[in-house]
């Protein structure tokens, strides 16, 4: 097997324990904030429609 299959820099990074405590960002923070805002908005609409006598189909289609 070849010893130079991987670059020395890459091998040093993998074997170095310096970055073991760092977290990996898979999804940016802004995306989580948008998702939370959408979920809260949908929850507010659901709560509003469940506590009122509004007919959603009649409200949309007039």
Q: What is the mean pLDDT of residues 35-59?
A: 85
Predicted local confidence at residue 16, as pLDDT = 67
Q: What is the pLDDT of residue 39?
A: 97
User: What pLDDT is attached to residue 40?
Assistant: 98
- For residue 53, pLDDT beyond 90: no
Q: Which residues contact 19 (CB under 8 A, 6 or more apart)?
A: 13
For tokens 């960002």, name the residue: 25
The pLDDT of residue 62: 65
pLDDT in tens, 3-21: 677 788 777 777 767 766 7
Please give the C-alpha separations between residue 49 and each of 16, 43, 46, 54, in angstroms, as whole numbers.
56, 10, 5, 7
Domain segments of the chain as ranges: 24-62
Give the residue among 42, 38, 22, 19 at the shortest CA–CA distance from 30. 38
Q: Which residue has the higher pLDDT, 56 or 52?
A: 52
């Amino acid at each position: 097997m070849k010893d130079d299959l991987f670059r020395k820099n890459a091998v040093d990074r993998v074997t170095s324990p310096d970055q073991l405590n760092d977290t990996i960002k898979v999804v940016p923070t802004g995306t989580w904030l948008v998702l939370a805002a959408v979920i809260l908005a949908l929850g507010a609409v659901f709560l509003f429609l469940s506590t009122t006598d509004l007919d959603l189909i009649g409200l949309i289609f007039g």
